[in-house]
Amino acid sequence: MTVNGSRLDQMTEEQLAVWRGRAVGIVFQFFQLMPTLTAAENATLPLDLARLGPSRQRKARASRHLATVGLGDRGDRLPLELSGGEQQRVAIARAMACGPPVLLGDEPTGNLDTRLAQEMFGLLKGPNGNGTTVVYVTHDQALAGLASRIVSVREGLIVDDTGRRP
């Protein structure tokens, strides 16, 4: 399988891990933040693992992403000191860390109230407007209705594809 010129089927597990770390950002439903790391450290983690640039640049980049999601002043907080919505914002900043061309959301708003869910969707539209492909799974029909394309899947099969909407 070739993705953007990279032959994934010919990569070792280590090469695949590096490729995934740089090419795919993931936002999980239950945040998956490291509980002993601050918000800033969680947002920096993908950059550290990918060894992208010097430490000072990685921290500055993560700080910019936290500011983008409205948490520029909360970087020193541990996940347990943040609300659910704030934790999800950290997870989005972390997913955006390496500037991946693909951002995946696994029910990224599933445990948030309606207002916060719409706010998170707005944050995911930012990278999309800058050329990032954003794909997310949701059971919330109102939230799905905000997407530019809806693909419905039932029992592992595509049952409807509305295609691109203006």
On whether residue 122 sits in a domain, the answer given is: yes
pLDDT at 165 (0 to 100) = 53
- Is the pTM above the cut of 0.85? no
CATH number of the domain bearing residue 75? 3.40.50.300
The per-residue pLDDT of the chain, averaged, comes to 86
Query: To the nearest 10°, the Cα dihedral for 118, 122, 128, 129?
Result: 140
CA 114 – CA 138 distance, rounded (Å): 13
Per the structure, how many domains does the chain have?
1
- What confidence tier does 34 reach under pLDDT thresholds 50, 70, 90? very high
Once rounded to an integer, what is the mean pLDDT over residues 111-138? 80
On whether residue 131 sits in a domain, the answer given is: yes
pLDDT at 164 (0 to 100) = 61
On whether residue 166 sits in a domain, the answer given is: no
CA 7 – CA 16 distance, rounded (Å): 10
- Enclosing domain of residue 50: 2-161
Q: What is the pLDDT of residues 65-110, one digit of tens each?
A: 999 888 999 999 999 999 888 998 899 899 988 888 888 888 887 7
On whether residue 150 sits in a domain, the answer given is: yes
